[in-house]
Each structure stands twice: as structure tokens, then as C-alpha cells.
Structure 1
């Protein structure tokens, strides 16, 4: 690490003091006038922290303006004094994260020894910024009901945001499993900051450290046209501030309990899922040296034991014997007359035709225990334990009134075990560390410098059930998993029923180490507040993922169906041992893929008060995404001019490759981005000259960065680094036998032509988004603000995937010979040619806590369109691949996370029970009730049909659409949510006509509530008893319907969001 620190220090020295700090501070601005309205220059303005007694001092300019920047969040007292006028004092003035608070001063004639004190709080609305944002304060965080105690859930209360599409692949684990989308941007396009330092994983764009609710002071969600200070993403900027100490010792100790006996039964479960959950912890903050040194610590633990009863389709006892009587006809692929297959006698596969490996695998599937339900004839019972521990330690020290240093360390460790049918479960291990140190120096009343260094260590492992057992050899199937730590069950996919062995993406061992040095120089001159900055980041990523070393097999039902007919029984193909595709892989070594990347960003931002009523926010940002290197030069790409596989000349290849290839003098997996300029301009106008009305408008360009996982595929999957043999059979005749790989053996593993891999083009571009907004916000009275805004954006060069070597046009005959490059096989091509557009009306009403009530109501009416909603797909919601790679225009449709209407209401209400008798009030007073109401329309989804009907090798096919795909609301039910009769199977060698994301999923009506009682023990010591109730009305929350055409459950809904859940909590506060 010492070498890295020296390099970072050298780079910091090159930049001097013109670097970037993504701060968690705010600023107080204003103008000083006399009673006649004339401005007064040279007035001494002091801003004092009420928590630490630290004082910042400045003087008004010739125009009477003053600005005090880089103030820690908290409450302040503002005072102004000059000869001939009485001293002005106003407080407390609350200051939120990244907030600009205006405190205008009117001085009255008199002696300085006299003072005028103003107790009114600052304006509720922010009048100096043109961005669209919302601060979630501490009162909201700790008082609103959160049964999962995950702060990201509160981010979706901000206008323009949603909780993410149901199938979003960046959701990981039960505690971190909350995605957030903002203004039509993908969930992986967000940037999470922790105390101003990056807290986002480079590979997949997820938040790394999810702090305890009781460790967070507040956080801010910026959704559109934020300052040039912020970059890396075009979605939301979520900046979280960890609590810090003050002169008063304060803290909490708490435990939250959940037990299934307090819950309602899930709508789709025959009984309540057994659950025991203990969430406990505490925090402590205070002074080490009064007015000088402060500390804050937090610990939280989570122990959960949850039983689940997932529903799935497993083979019946009759089907295990080859008996499919009573169901759709099955046909003998070896008995063909006049291009038609003969049916099996009595719809039964003879015992001597069942493949030996299939016979050995059969016991992996349980017997049906719910035979009356065709959509899920088996309800499992699995114990899924979750253990999590986290620590946060922060210290602040004031060397002088002009010098402050701070440091924070966070550590979190999670083990999450999820069991599933047929060894389909996995264990998720998360172990993350994050730290930051900073030094803030006030150079003069108008100049300030802030230097920070941060580091992050992200560890994410996925371990499949059955890891360490060589199942393939036990079944008589080939296996090249020579090491015990990668041996696992083969991945067996069976159409229209649950597969065996889970996905082939595990085991996965991933580690990212990230270093960041940031600094901010701020200068105030006249009416300009100028920030000049930059950002240096170094990434080190290791990834070990030996995919398919135990084999992967797909049984679609293509060979026991009539030619040109539906594919009803993938299991019948499994019994015969006739897969449509099978693959096996061996890496040339068991070293992890190691990728390095560096980034440098520069910016200048000027907040210019053009007029006393008008502020312009103008900035320019430049982002350089540097070269991406694999340390051993293990990466490759396809030259689409001639089909060559190209890899670096420096790589020593031990194999003779049986396909055309060449080497080049190349090292970088992706060329650097040197022209990513991001201009931003906005205006904030106070049309009436007061602080109660503001009009905002802004435009800006925002660059994203490619997810590291995309570039990783160019290093972890291509030959010659990972040698994978894949065999595909056409839809006409079964050309493969289960587990037979001709010419492939452990002694002589030569990848069968064609070679198969995933790669990126050499000209891969970073995507960018143009954002614009126009809105009006008005403060009504002292504590209510209402707003209305139009927010839109257009994104260009977004990441996407498609089949890069298809057999087009569709038609008969073997796929391989008709591919674009017959010497290459199926190729996942990852490029940057996707787009999205977003338009919305966003309205909100917010009441600051007063007279026992606070609330935030938000409504968004929006439309988000794109041609793919994420590079990795949305599970069963939509495919990551285009149906026809020649016609991306046919993929245009609603985004997978598009919600046309969304309304949320969150509130905290102090029940007005007051009793004069102290003892009576202690028991009957001090009650609070809080809640979150969510009303929204449904997510869209796409109908698909199994098998390669076009015979084009394009990976996904949609059915034909012959009428409206959706039903009127009055006709929808869980057995037929959409118009299943409108979908039909395409004719052989044709793509389907149904569009992408044309089916409306079920909407949401949810109410989460809490009831809290506060007991005053002694002065400064309180005990809170609380009950939290998720889905308190026990209204069914339905999941997405099955959209797999030809499946027995097509159009059915058999999953949902659970019934009412109850959590009890006890918290000691002092």
C-alpha cells in the first residue's frame, strides 16, 4: 500500500490545491442592510456551531454580501456587528448536508453592546441552487418505520425516484438488496458517497457500506443537474453523512425484534414462514476535549433465521418414470416420417430410452407436495440464516479555529445463506471496509482548502450449494473442476420446471480495492463563490469465476415436441438425454483476473449572484477514464472485419488454437476517455426578493463510467485464457448426447471450434446524459413548502449486450454454418449503442417538524423509454439480449423500471395528548405515530417463448401478438393477469411480433406504519418503545406474472411482497 500512497501523494502535489472534494458540508450566505435597505460593507459576520462552539468569521463585501462555506452540518448561530449598529443574532439556524442557507440581516442603529436576537429559523427552501435534490434528515431517518432498517428505502421517497425494477441484477443480499433508480436512469448509474468519499463498487455500481440507521446524521439525494463538483454517474448522487461528536455526550442502545408469530401469512403461502430476527446495537458520541476533540462510535448486529416456502414446478412421480399421460403429447425425435415426428406410445418414454446420467440425477429433485397447483406443485421449506455485523468510528479534532482534521473507519461483514430446490441456493459473503481522513484549513475569511484521502476494500463472494463435491463424476458426466474449491453441481436448465444446480456464475470470488485523493479549494470574491477541483482514483479489481467447469446443460423440449410446435416438456428431453446446448470450460490457470484502472477528473464551479434576486450556477467538468489493464494481459476481442480473435502479443499462449487469430501490440482493454467534457448551467431566481419563492432551471451533461463487470468479461471469458467448448444443436434433429463432448478430454483439452466468449469492442464509449429541469418552489407559512417541476433527460451510448455472431437471416439448417463467422460460436457482444429518454412532472409538499407534525408528499408522473434497461437484464422481467440484432429499433419500449404514476407520503405525527400530572403524562403522553404510504402503477414486462424458433442463435425470442396484450383492470386476476390468448407461437424460422415491455405488471398499494411511546426517565434520558408494521393493512402485494409463453403458469402470479410484518423495538436515548 505504501507505494500506492506515494504515487497518490505525488499526483496530489502536481495538482496543488485545485482538486475536488465531494463534501458533506454546507454554507450560509446572506446580505447585510440597514433599516433603510442600503447595503453595509465591512460588517463582521460570525457563524458559531451550537454543538462544538467552533466559530467562523468573515466580512461583508462592498455589495453587503457574505458567504461562509464548508460548515459541518448541524445548528448554528449567526451574528453580525459593526460600529453604529446594534449587534444582530439569529439562531438556531439548521444547516443540512450540501445545503445553502440564506440568512439576510437588517441592522438597527445603536450601540454594538446592544443586541437584537431573532429566533425564527432559516427559510425552508433553498434559494441559491438550480439542482433538483432532497435532504432526508435525522428525524425522518430514525422515526419512519423501516422493518429492514435500510436507509436506501427512504431514498425512494424523493420525487422522481423508484425502488428499482424487481429483477434488477445489482440487488445483492437481503440487507443490501434495495435498488434505486432516479429520473429514468439505470440503478447502476448512481453514485453513493460516505462522508464525501466514494462508496460505490466499481464492478456493478452498488453501494458498498450500508450504514446503520443510528449511525447516519442525514443524507442527500440529488437527482438532476447537480454541481460540477459531482461526477462519475448520471443517476442519483446519494451523499451520506455519518454522525459526529459534540460537546454533549449522547448516544443510543437498541434492539429490534421480529417473530413470525406477529406476522400475517403471505398471500401465496399455506402458512407463515418461520422467522427469528434480532437487530441490535448502540452508538456513543461526545467530547474528548471540550470545544476541541470529539468522537462517535456505532456498532450494529443482525441475526436472522428465516424459513422460506418457495413455490416451483418439479417432476411428478409419473414423469420420473417417463409417463407424460394426461398432458400434451410428446414425440420421438428418432422416429420421423414426412418431416413429422411420431408420438410416443401412450405418451410414455420407454425405460430403456432414459439416459443413465438423467436417471442418476433424478433424486436431486424433491417429490411434489402441492399437486393441485399447476404453477407450483412443490412448496419448499428452507432455513435461510443471515448474520451481519458493522462498526463505524469517527473522530474530529480542531487544531485551531482555522484547522480541523477528521477521520472515519467503517467495517461491515455479512453472511447470507439462501437455500433453494435442487441445490439451487447459494451463500453470499460480504466483507467491506471503508475509511477517510481529511484536513480542512481556513486560509482567510474568503479562502478555504479541504484535503481528503479515502480507501475502500470491497469483498463479495458467491458460493453455490454443494461446493466441494464432484457431482458430475458421480453422474458419469465430464468435469474439469480439478480443484475441490471449484467443484459443484452441473447447471441443468429444464424448460417449464425448476432446474438443478443453480446458475453457472458461481463460485465467484471478487475483491475491489479503491484509493481516492480529493481536495477542494474554495474562494469567495465579490458575488462569486468559485470552486476549483479535481479527483484522482485508483482501482484494483480481482475476480475469480470458473464458469461451467462442471458443465452446463440446457433442455428446452425442442426434440420431444412436434416440429414447428410448442415446446411443452423440457423434462422429456432431459430424460432422453438430448440437450439443445451444452458447454464445459477450463481456465488455463486458476489465477484470478486482475484489472487495474485509474481516473482523473477536473472541474471549475462558480455560483455567481448576478443580482440580489438571481444566482447563476455555472460549471465545467472534465472526466478522464484511464486505460483498463489486465495485469497478465489476459483479454481479447473480435475483429469484425475478418473474424480474427485478437489478444496481446505479450501473452504467452500454451495452446494451439483451432480458429483464426492474431496478436497485436496492445495492452489496454479500453482506450482512455479524453473528451468527456460536461458543461452545466443553471439559474435560481427569487422573483419577489424574499426567501419564500424560487424559480429554478438548469441544463447539464453528465458522464457515466462503464461498469467494471462489463470489461471484466473481455478478460475472464475469451479464449485462449478460458477454454470453453460449447455444442449447440439445431431445432430439427437432436445432434447432442448428454455430457458427450467429442474431441475433448482432460488430457487434451482443445476448445472445440467454434470458440465461444464474451467481449467488448475496441471503441467502447462511456455513456453520457443530457439533463434539464424547470421548477417553482414556494414556502407557505413558516414550515410548509410546495414545489412543481418538469424534469427530463436523454442518455446516449449506454451499455448493452446482444448476440454478436448470429445466424441471420433466420432459416433452416445447422446454425453454425450460417453464423456471421462460422469459425466462432455464440458471442456475447457488449457495446455502447443503447439510449434512453425520460420526461416527468414532479410535485411535492414538505412540512418541517412543527406543532407535532412533519410530512413529505411526492407525486411523479413520468415516461421512461429505452431499448434495454440494463446491460445485465432484469431476470424474468426482460432479457438482456435483443431479439433480432439487425433491428434494435424494435427493442424500443418502456423501461423496465418505468412507473407512470407514483405517489408517496411519509409523515411523523406527535399525538396531542398532554397531561399536567407528571406521572400520568409519563404513561399516557409522549406518543408518536409515523407512516409511509406508497401508491404506484406496475412495472412492465416482456413475454418470451422458449427455444430458438428462428433457428438464428440470437438467445431470446418473443411470441407473436395478435391483439391487446393487457386486460382491463376489472378482468385481471392472479390466474390470468394479462391477455394470454393474444400471444401465439411464431412460425418456424421467424421472430415474434410482440414488442418489448408491453405487459403491465400489478401496481402497489402499501401502507407501513409505526407507533412509538417515549418515556422520560430523567432529564436527558429517554426510553422509546416502538412497534413497526410493514403492510399494516395486510393488502396483497403481487409480484410479476409469469411471462414465459408455453409455460403452464403463463399469465399466473404466484409470488408477492408478503403479508403484514411486525417489528418491535426498544431504544434508550441520552
Structure 2
């Protein structure tokens, strides 16, 4: 059930505020009305009419002849001006984009008002009013550019310097991964993602809630620098996607896109290994319909559907027990050298009378009597499928093979209603609903498979209203609500574990209704034990008010957001079986030639296991942003933007106060009992102080921008702003616990615990979480997850300056500099606050010498419970804990980015759209991301993060992107052969090409070495390098990507000196082109058919992947595969529209 949005109270600052130039889902048209002598014409009536919907806005020019239409929906407008003594002038075809301020100056001619002068506005690319640096793709470019998987967010890559995720974790089938990119030197997903002006990201890691389909997109606005105070909770970059609405005429389309392996090229890695192309098939189909409702001139609808069906076949090769083994007969079970694997009876384990250790007796005939079978163990064995293929010699391993298919089924619906109620009031509403499923293949059947299926229902609802009480006041209200439910479905979900023979009393303790996980050494594991259900909700309300006051445009507003994350992540127990308990004859030695895991499973004698209990948390996060801005048109050439934003990201709370944080300075209760100056411990939130951290109320963000028209063709623009990216954090240790399956007596791994065999593994039930009852003693003697309560807010300073020059109408060249400085950024996961201070490494082997343990008798279990401990344990900053694992929410990282950007844009109405960008840049930081998914940014020394300040993981020194949409000027109505016969025109006319071509440097590589310091809490080790320049080779080849001889392993007690990311050793450069060839057919004026062939990586250029950078690996220095860009893929499409 979807919860009702909980809206915070709206508090508005009544002061001169933000500008017409900060517009979440609208744009502005402004200009000066003059007479033939360039003198201002005050009091002229100016009208702006939307050519699609006939919506009209009217205003009177100021004493300076200025008019401003703010918060207009994007579209094509007719601008007209009239006053006594002058002819009425009409400019048509003025294309207004989202977040754009379009300057449309009007010169009136002397004459009567009844006389009309009509001109075409044409394409206007020169930005004379704004400091923001943005690229906007209109509906036609969105539809015509080649986009793999028809994901509209891939279009952000038409900007040089935009970087997708590194590891390929992103799946094109899942909306939450669509916005996983970094821009302008920022971190992945640190930018603002808006759909129809409404924030559309989840609260925890920034994944997209729901994406519209390509055919529902009116335009995509990509902002690498935006200095308007209206925008916050980002690093200063933004992607704003506007959906399509209806018009006065009915329009519709149907389409089908096809991709399969028959059209694709094979990969470089497959060709090298002599493998065939993998089987693949994808269908995407759908349609759109739009138009007026009830023949109204004010009420319009747009609706779209897109379906996706995709199959990825795969083969599973597994090792399963034979029919003899299932019956307990292991007489035909052999080792890989042909000798018999003798099965020993673990219940005959006894002390060795002739020496130390224990011995066992073998089962006669290598057969286990069925009366010794554990009822649960034997039932679980029956869930294995029977062998169906000849296995490996002697061992029978890999004796089962099955084919399956991962089936992707996506359905997406977009519905939008626009209502121009009157000249003063307009409203719109949109609903996007998507059902996304990835159904895992079934190999074993009967719930026994270990894979899982993804089910991701999601939706977003947006309602907007614009009220213009007077021509100089505009009030805009936006309401947004989104929900995405992440659900992983186990093959055994809904099954009762009593089917396996477990008692109902035991099963009633399980949190998940799935079969427990079972692993058997040498055999394929059984059952997926996880139940995951994570609904994420984001609800927001925003109001923006604009007042035109002479040459000032004053704007102020507020955005409030409530986000919820309900995390239910439950697991049934895990049971592990090895050959150890059935090996012999010496029971104290784990033999590699005797025993068998299936034999151990049949006897119910396991090597161990756990039963977890976790809390289903319900976290809420709040956000408030207030802003004021004045856009001051100082004169006809200079426009200034002065703004201030105040943001509050409130501390996260949990519905039942199940949160805590680590206080490194609090005195430990164990200090008096041990006589040590112990500090540090977990502090829990209370009903009176529920926040996971101390809310920062001092996040003020000044914004400044200018646009100075040096000449009518040359504009200088620049800006500066402070931005606060989304933060996070909070842990809930103490509210989850595990119960260990004590499967052997005393946990010795030798003598099976007869009172706790598999059929009754937890005779004393499950441990229950202690919650907050232990206070500062929580997790003492064990590891603790650390999140600091003192939580300074991360911030980024953005700045840019550029020149735009109009070479000719519709052709603009831009040259500029952009930079950013990040401070107090969040570190990545994996930091260790309980690391030994490096000053003690000089003690060498003395660190491992046993010393008296002051915690003996105080801590009852674990490595700190013995009479002695290694010396290094007592030298740790928090010796009462085995580890203090810092989560990814601890600030302190910093970043720097500088870039030269050149952009060339050439647009000819109805024929050509060319966008070329080049970026020369350098990115430096000591942590490139905080989620820990894409790159590993673990500090090598927690006490000195300067060792890890290097180029960033997303440093891309050079990047070039060219995006082209070109209608060949051949055929009826075109420049060449315009009088072709219809038959000839059907063959020669209507051709179109579009492409996106990318060339860039490769991303840097990171090197690791065996971590000999890991026992002291150091989380990662780098190799030593004497000369980094010597480590690179002039022409890297897959078998020798760099000079491996330049690297050496550090000494046992030494920290390696290799830089965190190598500036001169990188992935292979990107040389990637996507090409579409389109053929358009027209008939009966309104009907159009389009056939298209799209080729992704059309040159089939391999993009070499990460070279092996582990100095201990046998493949060190070699590249064995390619990136997830893939080989050439061909997609065919057919669209019919009217």
C-alpha cells in the first residue's frame, strides 16, 4: 500500500528573490521592443502564443521597452507586439527550451496597427541572458539519435566529459541505474535529476525512481553548470527531462524495434577464445496517442506505452550427487587421481591411543546405512536433479547441464493531461507507471536454484499549476510523488521449510519464507535463502513565485521533500557441509582425498552455519530548500543574477528509533574494569533525539552569474555557486544478530555435536538482538560499524567563464573554462578507524608477540577473550573492538576539477543539427565515490589520507563527442531533385542519418599488492614503484599493458608508495561510434513511416577492459577482456505515425 505523502509546512521568505532564469520545467522569453531608430517603445502590448495549444500570455512593455514572459511551458511560440502608430509585428517559430531564457527583440515599423509584419524567428543558439552552461536536445533529436535499449538518459553522453559507471553494474533494464553517470568532474549520481521539474531520485543511493519512455520525452536539458538559486541538493550539475503534452491536432504512432545475435558481431574476447556469439534477442514495441479532449481548445492529453521483451539464454553446468551417492553408496566415489574417496563415520571419532589428535573408522563398503541418515539431510539431497551428462573422469564433477533463459519483461505507461483553464491559470498532471521483471532461469527446479528474479514495480506522479494573477506576477506550484519497490524473488519464496523436514517450531523462527541455504564442498549449492523487499518513496512540494519589477526579475521559492526507505532484508539460516567430518582416518587433519560433503549432508553433520535475525527498518529523511534571486537586466548588454539558497538536509530518523552512531571520544564503561584509557562506543538515538546525526542548519549557498553581450554576436558569461550534494548515513547495529550453528562439540570442527545435527540445528532457539540495552557495551569484543554523529555537510564550489560567438544564424562556437572544488565530501566504504597507527610498524615482529590480555574475564568470546592477545591489539585506538568499520557516510574527502571546454553547435531548421564538444580536463581527489560499488577508494592509511590524493578514478584528460542529425537534402521539397516522380522519391528521398561519436582517453588504473598489513587493520596495500614513468609502455598490448618489472611488493611492515590511481596507465582509449540510417516515407500528408537501422559501435572497435593490476596474479599486466561497451550491435526499427 502506498503511504500518503507527509508534507512539511511551507515557509516562504518574503524578500527579493530568484530569477526567471531558474526554471525547473519552464522557460522564459524576454526582449526589448524598439522603433526603427532603436529607441525603446514603452506601453506596447506583447503577446506570447503557444503554437501547439493556443495558450496566450499578454503583458505591457516597461518604460525601457522591456517585456518578460516567465515560467512558460517549453514549446514553439508566436510573439507579437503592437502599439498605436506602428504596424503589428509577429515573430513565429520561436523555439523555447526548458531552463532557457530566449531573447526575442522586436523592432516595430511605422504604420497602422491593422498592418501586419510577419517574420520567422528561426533558430536562436546564442545565449545572451544566462550564465548556465547547458545543452538541450529537442523531441526530434531525442527520437532520431541512436539510443541503445531506448534509454533516454543515454543522451547525456552527447556532452564531452560525461562518464558512465566503470564496472558495468548498471543494467539498462532497470530504471534505478539510468542516472549512473558523472558530469563536470563530479561524482556519479551527485547531480540533480529532474523529470518535469520534480526531483526523481531515491534517498539512499540516488537511483532513479522512474523514467519516461523515449517517445514520451519532449526534450532533455543537460546542465554542466547551473548557477540558479532555485536548484539544490546536487554538485551543481543537472539533467532535466520534460515530457510531451498534447496539442490541438490528434497525433499518434506505433513502433517496433528488434535486436538479436544474428545481427550482432562477436566480441574480441570470444574471437580470441574461439567462442561463438552468445544468443540474444530483444523486442521493444509500443505507441503514442495525443490530441484535444472533447474538441476543446484548452484541454489536451498525451499517452504512451512501451513494452520490452528480452531473452538472454545461458547454460548451467553443475556438480550433483549420483543415484548411488543419494542412497548412501559411495563405493563408486573417486578422487581425481582414480583412488577411492573413503568415507569415515564421524560418530566413531575418538582420541588417538597412539598419539595426539583423533581418529575415525571407515564405513564398511564405503556405504552409509540408511538408518543413519539425517531426515532433513536426506530430504535436501533429494532436491538435487539427477545427473544428465557424462561428468569429469573419476570424480563425476560437472555431471549436470541445463539450458535456461533470463527473461526480461518491461511495460511502461505514460499519461499526461494539460489544461489551459484560462489565460491566467494552467495545469498539468502526469503519471508514469512501469513494471519491470527479470525472471531468472530455472535449472534445478522445485525451488532448488540459487539465483533470484528481480521484480521492480515503480511509478511517479507529478501535478503542476501556474497562476498569473497579473502580467507581472507568476506563481508556480509543483507536487511530485514517486515510489520504487525493489524486490528479489527467491525460487523457493513462499515455500515452507517443513517440506525439508525441519520442525514447525524451528521454521516459525525463520524471518523469511524461503528454504535455507545449503552449500556442499565440491557440489553446487542449493536454495536462495534471501527475501528482499525495499520500497523507496520520495514526495516533494515546491512553490516558485516570480515578480517582474522594471529591469529586475525577482523570484523566490521553497522545496520540501520527505523520503522514506523501508528495508526488509531477511534471510533464513545457512548450513555448510564439507568433506572434513567424513574424512579420516586422522580426524584432526582435513584430508583432500577422503570424505565427501554429500556424505556429511546425509548424516546431518555440518561444518557450521548461521541463523540471522535482522530488523526491518523504516527510515525517513527530510529536506528543505529556500531561495531568493534577482535577475537584473542592468542594461541592454549586461544581465546579472544574484541569488542565495538555504538548504537543510535533516538527520535521518527510524520509525522505532533503531539507529546509532559511533562516538570516538566518549569514555568506555570498560575503562575502570581494565585500567586502560578506553574511549569510543555506539550511542543510540532516543525518542527525544531521534536523528542519526546533528542536523546542519548553516548550509547557505550564494549564487552569482552574468551575461555580458560584448557585441551582437559575442557574449561573455560566467558564474559561481556553492552546492550541497545529497548526504546520508546512520547504522543500526544492535538490532540484528546471528546464531551460530554449533555443529561440532565446542566448535572444534572434529567431533559432531549429536545434539545439534541438521534436523535440530538450534536446540536453544535463536539469539535475539540486544537493541540499545547494552549501550556503550554494544559489540564490545567484536566489530562495530561506525558513523560519526558530528556530520559536517559536504559542499562543492562551482565556477565557470566562457565566450559564445555566433558565426552565423544557427551556428555558435563556445570556448570556456569550468572548475570545481569539493570539500568535506563523503569517503567511500571500507575505511578502518581501528587501524594500527603506522608509527608502531617499526616494532616489526614484536607486534605479534602475545601479551597479557586486560580484557580476559571481561570479554567472554572472540579473539579478545583469551588470556593473551597479540601486542598490536592493545595498540589500536579502540582495543575493546576488533574493528571499527567506517561507513561511506563519513566526510573529509576533497576534490578538484579544471577543464577547458569547446563547443560547436550548428542547427538548420528542418535539415541539420550538429553538436560537437571537446573537453581537456584534470580531476584530482582522495575519494572518488562514497557508495563503494563502482570503484574501491579504501584508504591505505586511515591516519593520512594525503597518501591517496591522486587523479580521480573518473579523470578523463581528453574527451570529444560529436552528435549529428542530418536530413539529406534530396527528394520532394528538398534542395536537390525536388521534382522527383513519387516512385523515384520513395527510393531516393527521405533519407536521414544520425550518429553519436565519442573519442576519449582511457580511465586510470588502480594497483594492489597482497595486504600483509591487513592483520593490523590496514584495509588495502599498494605495490612499490621506483619510477612511475618507467611503468608505462609506449604501445600497450593486451599481453603487455604496462611494464610489470617496475613494480615490487612492499616489505612486511611497509606501506606501498604507488599512487592511488595511475595517471599514465589507463584503460584503452575510447573510440566508439553509434550510427543510425533512417528512411522516411510520407503519404496522404499526415501519414509517415520510418524504417531505421541503428548500429552501436558500428566500427566494431574493441574497448579493452581493465588490465590485471594485482601484483600477485599470474595475469598481472595482461588484459583478458573488453569493457561493457560490447561489440557491434544492430537494431532494426519501424515506426508509423500520423
Measured against the shorter chain, the TM-score band is 0.7 to 0.9
SS of 1:863's equivalent in the other structure is strand
Task: Write out aligned runs for 1:712-751 (5 A).
Answer: 714-715=731-732, 718-719=733-734, 721-724=735-738, 747=765, 749=767
In the alignment, is the contact (CA less than 8 A) between 2:205 and 2:931 conserved in 1?
Answer: no
Distance 1:321 1:370 in 2: 11
Distance 1:1055 1:738 in 2: 49
Residues 168 and 826 from structure 1, CA distance in 2 versus in 1: closer, same or farther, beyond 3 angstroms? farther
In the alignment, is the contact (CA less than 8 A) between 2:179 and 2:207 conserved in 1?
Answer: no
Distance 1:475 1:1039 in 2: 48
Task: Write out aligned runs for 1:410-449 (5 A).
Answer: 410-417=432-439, 425-449=451-475
Residues 317-372 of structure 1 deviation map (CA, whole Å, 9 limit, x = unaligned) = xx995889xxxxxxxxxxxxxxxxxxxxxxxxxx9xxxx99x999x999999999x
Distance 1:305 1:920 in 2: 40
In the alignment, is the contact (CA less than 8 A) between 2:317 and 2:402 conserved in 1?
Answer: yes
Q: Specify the alignment match of 2:327 in structure 1.
A: none
SS of 1:188's equivalent in the other structure is coil
Q: More displaced, 431-440 or 539-548?
A: 539-548
Q: Of residues 781, 793, 801 in structure 2, which corresponds to 1:766?
A: 793
Q: Of residues 921, 930, 955 in structure 2, which corresponds to 1:871?
A: 930
Q: More displaced, 156-165 or 95-104?
A: 156-165
Give how far 1:823 is off: 3.0
Give how far 1:1029 is off: 0.6
Task: Write out aligned runs for 1:355-394 (5 A).
Answer: 383-394=405-416
Q: Specify the alignment match of 2:1015 in structure 1.
A: 951
Q: Of residues 259, 273, 298 in structure 1, which corresponds to 2:278?
A: 273
Q: Specify the alignment match of 2:1099 in structure 1.
A: 1033
In the alignment, is the contact (CA less than 8 A) between 1:636 and 1:645 conserved in 2?
Answer: no
2:201 is equivalent to residue 165 of structure 1: no
2:614 is equivalent to residue 596 of structure 1: no
Task: Write out aligned runs for 1:262-341 (5 A).
Answer: 262-269=263-270, 270-288=275-293, 289-307=295-313, 321=335
In the alignment, is the contact (CA less than 8 A) between 2:997 and 2:1073 conserved in 1?
Answer: yes
Give how far 1:897 is off: 1.6
Give how far 1:45 is off: 0.7
Residues 503 and 84 from structure 1, CA distance in 2 versus in 1: closer, same or farther, beyond 3 angstroms? farther
Give how far 1:448 is off: 0.9
Task: Write out aligned runs for 1:922-1001 (5 A).
Answer: 922-946=986-1010, 948-964=1012-1028, 968=1032, 970-998=1034-1062, 999-1001=1065-1067
Task: Write out aligned runs for 1:799-810 (5 A).
Answer: 799-800=826-827, 801=829, 802-808=831-837, 809=840
SS of 2:421's equivalent in the other structure is strand
Q: Specify the alignment match of 2:630 in structure 1.
A: 606
Q: Taking structure 1 as the reference length, what is the TM-score of the superposition?
A: 0.83
Give how far 1:12 is off: 6.9
Structure 1's unaligned 5+ residue stretches are 325-350, 372-377, 555-568, 647-658, 728-733
Distance 1:212 1:60 in 2: 41
Q: Of residues 912, 921, 932 in structure 1, which corresponds to 2:969?
A: 912
In the alignment, is the contact (CA less than 8 A) between 1:276 and 1:305 conserved in 2?
Answer: yes
Give how far 1:484 is off: 4.4
SS of 1:673's equivalent in the other structure is coil
Distance 1:120 1:697 in 2: 27
Distance 2:534 2:11 in 1: 29
Structure 2's unaligned 5+ residue stretches are 321-332, 339-365, 367-373, 394-399, 579-591, 601-606, 671-679, 742-746, 770-778, 842-846, 851-862, 972-976
Give how far 1:1033 is off: 1.3
In the alignment, is the contact (CA less than 8 A) between 1:693 and 1:777 conserved in 2?
Answer: yes
Residues 380 and 40 from structure 1, CA distance in 2 versus in 1: closer, same or farther, beyond 3 angstroms? farther
Task: Write out aligned runs for 1:35-434 (5 A).
Answer: 35-166=36-167, 173=174, 176-177=177-178, 179-269=180-270, 270-288=275-293, 289-307=295-313, 321=335, 383-417=405-439, 425-434=451-460
Q: Specify the alignment match of 2:803 in structure 1.
A: 776
Number of residue pairs the alignment of both structures matches: 977
Q: Specify the alignment match of 2:343 in structure 1.
A: none
Distance 1:990 1:803 in 2: 18
2:1076 is equivalent to residue 1010 of structure 1: yes
Give how far 1:1023 is off: 0.4
Residues 855-900 of structure 1 deviation map (CA, whole Å, 9 limit, x = unaligned) = 111111111111111112245xx42421221121111122222211
Q: Specify the alignment match of 1:895 in structure 2.
A: 952
In the alignment, is the contact (CA less than 8 A) between 2:610 and 2:738 conserved in 1?
Answer: yes
Residues 643 and 788 from structure 1, CA distance in 2 versus in 1: closer, same or farther, beyond 3 angstroms? farther
Residues 510-542 of structure 1 deviation map (CA, whole Å, 9 limit, x = unaligned) = 112222111111111111111110111112210
Distance 1:1015 1:322 in 2: 67
In the alignment, is the contact (CA less than 8 A) between 2:663 and 2:683 conserved in 1?
Answer: no
Q: Specify the alignment match of 1:655 in structure 2.
A: none
In the alignment, is the contact (CA less than 8 A) between 1:160 and 1:223 conserved in 2?
Answer: no
SS of 2:292's equivalent in the other structure is strand
Give how far 1:173 is off: 3.8
Residues 663 and 232 from structure 1, CA distance in 2 versus in 1: closer, same or farther, beyond 3 angstroms? closer
Residues 176 and 255 from structure 1, CA distance in 2 versus in 1: closer, same or farther, beyond 3 angstroms? farther
Distance 1:91 1:526 in 2: 26
Q: Specify the alignment match of 2:1108 in structure 1.
A: 1042
Distance 1:148 1:598 in 2: 34
Distance 1:540 1:949 in 2: 40
2:727 is equivalent to residue 706 of structure 1: yes
Q: Specify the alignment match of 1:535 in structure 2.
A: 559
Give how far 1:661 is off: 6.6
Distance 1:735 1:835 in 2: 48
Give how far 1:670 is off: 1.9
Q: Specify the alignment match of 1:656 in structure 2.
A: none
Residues 699 and 38 from structure 1, CA distance in 2 versus in 1: closer, same or farther, beyond 3 angstroms? same
Q: Specify the alignment match of 2:665 in structure 1.
A: 641
Residues 607 and 774 from structure 1, CA distance in 2 versus in 1: closer, same or farther, beyond 3 angstroms? same
Residues 894 and 38 from structure 1, CA distance in 2 versus in 1: closer, same or farther, beyond 3 angstroms? same
2:943 is equivalent to residue 886 of structure 1: yes
In the alignment, is the contact (CA less than 8 A) between 1:965 and 1:982 conserved in 2?
Answer: no
Distance 2:920 2:749 in 1: 52
